[in-house]
Amino acid sequence: MADNNSNAAAYWSANLRLITGCLIVWALVSYGFAILLRPLIAGIEIGGTDLGFWFAQQGSMLTFIAIIFFYGWRMNKLDKQFGLEE
């Protein structure tokens, strides 16, 4: 029983680390690059507009989609590691 509880605690801890990392990347891209750091990256052009505007309009959404796929891929690996695959 103790081994099962420690395995569950390790799984949950790894899951929380993954979620925290994904949320940090999301916040950095959505709020950092698109809002707070926009004046610093305004001189860099991508697709005919400045990089800060691009992050606010498209970059944050594309990053969020990438985070969703990364989270799904990483959780499948985590499930296999702890023997919880479907």
pLDDT per residue over 9-66, tens digit each?
A: 999 999 999 999 999 999 999 898 888 888 888 888 888 888 888 888 888 899 999 9
Exposure of 76 in the CB half-sphere (CA atoms within 13 A): 5
Q: pLDDT tens digits for 73-83?
A: 999 999 999 98
Domain positions in the chain: 2-81
pLDDT of 1 over the 60 cut: no
Provide the residue type at 81 as one letter: Q
Largest CA distance in the chain: 60
pTM of the complete model: 0.83
- The reported pLDDT for the residue numbered 24 is 96
